[in-house]
């Protein structure tokens, strides 16, 4: 039986938006793709990951209760995607693509003992 954290993993909980491109015992490479106007189901990204932004503009991230955590249309200074970034972990959230182009991010998630380093 899968644990709650495994059930909320992006690939499991939101398979229409997350696709595994490659995996082994050290890394999992996941492509996240969210069309304009789409909202992902509640999901997590618990493994630390290097992320490469292919495309995207604005989004709204919400917590499990629907509270807005970040709306990139309202940031000061104006939000700009970095080309690459690091993420330690993302607890349960939804993501709404409020921009004018598909949001596409490639994540290289660390697995096993690499996470502890």
- Domain boundary assignment for the chain: 4-112
Cα dihedral sign, 9-88-19-113: negative
CATH of domain 4-112: 2.60.120.10
Q: CA-to-CA distance for 60 and 9, rounded, in angstroms?
A: 19
Name beta bridge partners: 110. Answer: 27
Backbone angles phi, psi at 51, to 5 degrees: -125, 140
**What is the per-residue pLDDT for 75?**
94
Between CA 107 and CA 105 the distance in angstroms is 6
Tens-level pLDDT at each residue, the chain (117 residues) = 455 567 899 999 999 999 999 999 999 999 999 999 999 999 999 999 999 999 999 999 999 999 999 999 999 999 999 999 999 999 999 999 999 999 999 999 999 766 655
């Amino acid at each position: 039986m899968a644990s709650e954290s495994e059930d909320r993993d992006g690939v499991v909980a939101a398979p229409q938006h997350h696709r595994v491109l490659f995996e082994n015992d050290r890394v999992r490479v996941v492509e996240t793709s969210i069309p304009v106007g789409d909202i992902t189901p509640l999901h997590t990204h618990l493994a630390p990951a290097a992320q490469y932004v292919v495309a995207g503009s604005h989004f709204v991230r919400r917590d499990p209760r629907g509270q807005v955590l970040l709306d990139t249309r309202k940031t000061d200074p104006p939000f700009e995607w970095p080309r690459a970034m690091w993420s330690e972990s993302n607890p349960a959230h939804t993501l709404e693509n409020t921009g004018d182009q598909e949001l596409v991010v490639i994540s290289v998630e660390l697995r096993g003992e690499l996470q502890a380093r």
